[in-house]
Chain A
Amino acid sequence: MQRARLALALTVVSVFAVGCGSESDLGGGWRVLEKPLLGDKIIYDENSGEPEVGIELLIGHYGPDVAGLVRFYRTNAFQFRRSELKPDSDCACTFMRKGKTAADASSLEFDLEGCVPGSATRSSLLVRATLELDASGQLDGKLTVLDNQSPLKGRSQKWTFKRVATSGAIDSSDLICETPDAKDGNTFNGL
């Protein structure tokens, strides 16, 4: 009788154990906390000369893979009043490419190949993002220009992102990042 009970318990436990996979640690919405523009300037407000560009990462994390997009805002305080703000009118967003995470999901890496606010607003730039999850749950990392054709090649800029939304909170409307003439994600002249 005890063996039967043990078998029943093991069956139930194993069913629940195999049924519950680990959730993504990096998926969701991330935004820059402030304007810590250290190092070289890649993304900045060309007119003011000051970095007043906000960055939002919308990440889908699937095991070793990462997909998503980067959205750009022209303000320093956009993270607190997002609903009142609109994305950058010249370079609203860029899709992530070749996104990968470490096995322990402690870091991720992806490329951006498209516009970035600043000197590359109206051109396509290949940028590599390398980010690590720190102890406080923030993503620290840098963007490095890889584009051989760009005078910015080799420049890198550090950023810190804070999670503002979980994976489930990302709505399909958040993922709109396309125009008929620029399917790589660049949005010229606003949405």
Chain B
Amino acid sequence: MPASSRVFALALAAAIAMSSLWGAPASARTLRPATLRTGDVADRAKQKRRIALLPIKTSPVSPDELFTAARGQVPSRPIGKLLSTALQSHDYVVALGPTDIKRALTRSGATRATRKVAQERYRLGVEYYMSMAFDRAAKSLALAAKLYRDVLQDLVDPKPLADAYLIAGVSLVQAGQTKAANDVLKQLFDVQPDRRFSRRGFYGPEVDKALLNALADHRKSARPELAHGDRARMHAVARSLQLDAIITAATATRDGRQVLYLSLYREDHRAFAARFSVDVSEIHEPGSDAIRAIEAWVARSVACLPIVERDPQPTRRKYRNIWMDTSGTAGAFLRRPTRLQFFSLGFAAGVEQQMRPGLSWHGRLNVLTSLADPYRDLVGSFNSLRGLLGVSFFTSLGRFRLFFRPGLEVHLLGSAVTTRDPDCKFFGLTHFKCDKRTKTTQNFEQDVLLGVNAAVGTQIAIGRDFFAALQASGTFYFLSQSESVALNLPVIGEIGLGYRF
């Protein structure tokens, strides 16, 4: 290829490279978080979707049974098992049942602390109630209820929250605040719709009446498809448990029949995406159409949930995580053939590419030229080329990116002769007066050294994608073509500038 063609080809390549850098859209130059995608995703990139099945809410108790111990509710366990089995039969799904949810919610130290405060406020409220300070009791219990709701107590065990609402409602009734009492007692049945009381008149006839009114209001206004609250509440649950979707289930009486209501909340849409209802009486027949319908609904819901790709744009992310820098270098060999220290100056250029968080590979080239030692035992100056390859462990602290780089080094020496004979220095190495014995004169010319290198340093962000770099490194040569191990243990400092692509 003619020289002009080569120059043109190089210029074209450089222009393409520059245009790819500067012409890239802004989105390509900033890290984007993982996004939800519905297209084909490689299996290895698929992230399991976390779907929670919240505790099943049973039908509200009937007013006739409110003050009885009798139980005639729909058993929720078979329904839960059915839904859980249907969920777990799908790929890339992590199904969290009520037990998993309870475990996850009680594990957090902050949650435990909040729950403890709520318990204290509850006990204090009960004491106020016992001492007939009803207003204070209501306030303390309202605070307890709020704290319980904040830590999603209704998903762990609804009774403490329901008790707080109950005593708060009773206190408000005793304080004569009938309307407020009705609102609070309604929330009691929202949390625990099958709540019953063993005997009538325990809190007094006014409270019994208030409970019946609240129950009636609840039964009238309750929406079983929102069994655990609206989408804001679901978002709070999803965020707390890091969920992709939530399935709620509740039973309710409609036209004298028990109906199961299922709802699917999608966190990516922050909305309820699917609803389904079926007659409960049909569920308990194995292989029934109702069971198949539930399984189909679950399958449809899961299928429509997007796969979360771990790395939506792997090539661009790799492209982004390249650090290149150039630096000035200064160093010295701790083991040297000269009587006094000589120093070397040069420049280096390096590249580093992130493989995973905190880990990169790196390569570096360093050209060094020596300065004269005080006794000029080093005849002339010698140039050398260092090549380094290794891994880089790094961590970020604000604007600083600290790194440790172990690796291998190959050091190609240029013309390097040292002598302690002044005649060699004055008359030249070829002069007959020059003592060429190895003891006084050593020739490292075109030697190759191989060693292990370690570097520590930092990159300091100084602007968008630009950084300053500081580095100190040392090498131990363990292999040499000839006698050059006499030249060993270089310690080199670098300071430079770089750019992150």
Contacts and interface: CB of A to CB of B under 8 A. Distances in A.
Interface of A: 4, 7-8, 11, 14-15, 18-19, 21-22, 60, 62-68, 95, 99, 172, 175, 178, 183
B426 A60 contact: yes
A20 B493 CA distance: 18
Contacts of A68: 426
Contact of B433 (A11, A66, A95): A95
B432 interface: yes
A175 B427 contact: yes
B201 interface: no
B375 A67 contact: no
A99 B433 CA distance: 13
15 contacts: A7-B470, A11-B495, A15-B345, A19-B371, A21-B374, A60-B426, A62-B375, A62-B377, A65-B420, A65-B422, A67-B422, A67-B425, A99-B422, A178-B432, A183-B432
Interface of B: 330, 332, 339-341, 343, 345, 371-377, 420, 422-423, 425-428, 432-433, 460, 470, 493, 495
Contacts of B371: 18-19, 21
A7 B373 CA distance: 25
A64 B340 CA distance: 12
Contacts of A172: 428
Given A18-B343, A95-B433, A64 B375 contact: yes
Nearest to A64: B375
A132 to B, nearest CB: 20
Given A19-B343, A95-B433, A99-B422, A67 B427 contact: yes
Contacts, number: 57
Contacts of B495: 8, 11
A60 B460 CA distance: 48
B330 A15 contact: yes
A62 B376 contact: yes
Contacts of B432: 178, 183
A35 to B, nearest CB: 28
Contact of A21 (B373, B425, B426): B373
A22 B428 CA distance: 22
Contacts of B375: 62-65
B228 to A, nearest CB: 53
A65 B470 CA distance: 39
A14 to B, nearest CB: 8
B472 to A, nearest CB: 10
B374 A63 contact: yes
A186 to B, nearest CB: 14
Contacts of A99: 422
Contacts of B373: 21
A11 B493 contact: yes
A60 B425 CA distance: 8
B422 A62 contact: yes
Given A67-B422, A95-B433, A178-B432, A4 B374 contact: no
A99 B427 CA distance: 14
B407 to A, nearest CB: 23
Nearest to A98: B422
A182 B204 CA distance: 136
Contacts of A183: 432
